[in-house]
Homo-oligomer: A and B are copies of this chain.
Amino acid sequence: MRDFSVDHRWLSINTATVRAQWPLDRIVIECARRGIRAISPWRDQVAAVGLDKVAALLRDTGIELSGYCRGGMFPASTDAGLQAALDDNRRAVDEAKTLNAPCLVLVVGALPGALAGRAEHKNLALARTQVADGIAATLAYARSVGMPLAIEPLHPMYAADRACINTLEQALDLCDALDPARSGALGVEGNERAALGVAVDLYHVWWDPKLKAQIERAGRARLLAFHVCDWLTPTRELLNDRGMMGDGVIDIARVRGWVEAAGYAGYSEVEIFSAQDWWQRDGGEVLDTCVARHRCAV
């Protein structure tokens, strides 16, 4: 297992972690100042600054991506809605390519309308079928441009409104169905990452009794991203009360050990949504804390 205590070579910052404080161009500069070598930005943050400007800024600072957030949201209750989702995912793949991301992270979506509090139906099985179809269609395009897709299983508390892929097992079943050969996205020899894999975010999967077994099953080819934060007790609300690593109950180092034993050797990406705590603090304090905790609590 890699020793993270000596430096933060493998720290990445998901830019949602300081989205309340700074626009993306400032985030990149603040990360560069601290020797943080990777980020994972969100599409709306990129759009607010401008795709080409962000790409240039990344080149200038030498900062690379650990992932691009996000594609997905495939289910819809009309054909036009389904097609719009596919078109949007194609654009997300293109943006990921422009930014030289190692993968496009997919938050797959769930019951149409539920995120706005007005679910259009209750058929979760239908939503899951639409997700499979949407990923299959997006995968065909993503392969053609060499962009791996990382399905992020979301915590079951988001099954209604954000993602109906809720366990690592379920995500890997889908990977095996759509990409049985674990073929490389780039179609070149020696590329070890599959075209379709998973983003393992501890906040979503830490509770799962089958977590270790499914990480082993995923292996190096399917493990495209690793996200960390912590689960607080109590958790005051469902979306934006994530904890800084070390402040909650997740045995992060144990799971990182499993992931690395399975062959993962990439970034440990910090992604904290925290309306009542970290989003209220100075952005520099947040980044400095991420660096410190990466060294002692990951």
| Residues of chain A at the chain B interface (Cβ within 8 Å) | 111, 114-115, 117, 119, 122-124, 128, 155-157, 159-161, 164, 166-167, 170, 206-209, 231, 233-238, 248-251
How distant is the Cα of A166 from the Cα of B156 in the complex, in angstroms? 10
B residues within 8 A CB of A236?
237
- Say yes or no: A207 contacts B251, CB within 8 Å: no
Contacts A157-B157, A249-B160 known; A114 to B233 CB distance under 8 Å? yes
Q: Which 6 A-B pairs have the closest CB atoms?
A: A159-B207, A122-B251, A156-B207, A114-B233, A157-B157, A160-B249
| Copies in the assembly, this chain | 2
A209, B157: Cβ atoms closer than 8 Å: no
Contact of A119 among B156, B164, B249 (CB under 8 A): B249
Query: Please, how many angstroms separate the alpha-carbon atoms of A23 and B115 in the complex?
Result: 37
Q: Which residues of B contact A122 (CB under 8 A)?
A: 249-251
Question: Is A111 in contact with B249, judged by CB distance below 8 angstroms?
Answer: yes
Are B128 and A233 neighbours in the complex by a CB distance under 8 Å?
A: no
**A157 touching B114, Cβ below 8 Å:** no
A132 to B292, CA, bound (A): 38
Picked from B119, B123, B209, the residue with its CB within 8 Å of the CB of A166 is B209
- Tell me the bound Cα distance from A110 to B237 in angstroms: 20
Write out the residue numbers on chain B whose beta carbons fall within 8 Å of the beta carbon of A248.
Answer: 160
Report the bound CA distance from A117 to B247 in whole Å: 11
Bound: A155/B123 CA distance, A: 20
A73 to chain B, nearest CB (A): 15
Q: A175: shortest Cβ distance to chain B, in Å?
A: 14
Which residue from chain B places its CB closest to the CB of A211 in the assembled complex? Answer: B124
User: Which B residue sits closest to A113, measured CB to CB?
Assistant: B233
Who on chain B is nearest to A161 by CB?
A: B233
Contacts of A123 in B (CB 8 A): 251
Q: Given A157-B157, A249-B119, A170–B209 Cβ distance below 8 Å?
A: yes
Q: Which of A115, A124, A206 has the most C-beta atoms of chain B within 10 angstroms of its own C-beta?
A: A124
Known interface pairs A128-B209, A207-B124; A160-B231 also in contact (CB < 8 Å): yes
Instruction: Output the residue of A111, A164, A249 with the most chain B CB within 10 A.
Output: A249
Knowing A249-B114, A251-B122, say if A156 contacts B234 (CB, 8 Å). Answer: no
Q: Is the CB of A233 within 8 A of B166?
A: no
Closest to A115 in B: B233
* Residues in chain B near residue A231, CB distance under 8 A: 160
8 A-B residue pairs with Cβ-Cβ distance under 8 Å, sorted by A, are A114-B249, A115-B233, A124-B251, A155-B156, A156-B207, A166-B207, A166-B208, A170-B209
Query: Which residue on chain B has the smallest CB distance to residue A162?
Result: B233
* Chain B: CB-nearest residue to A156: B207
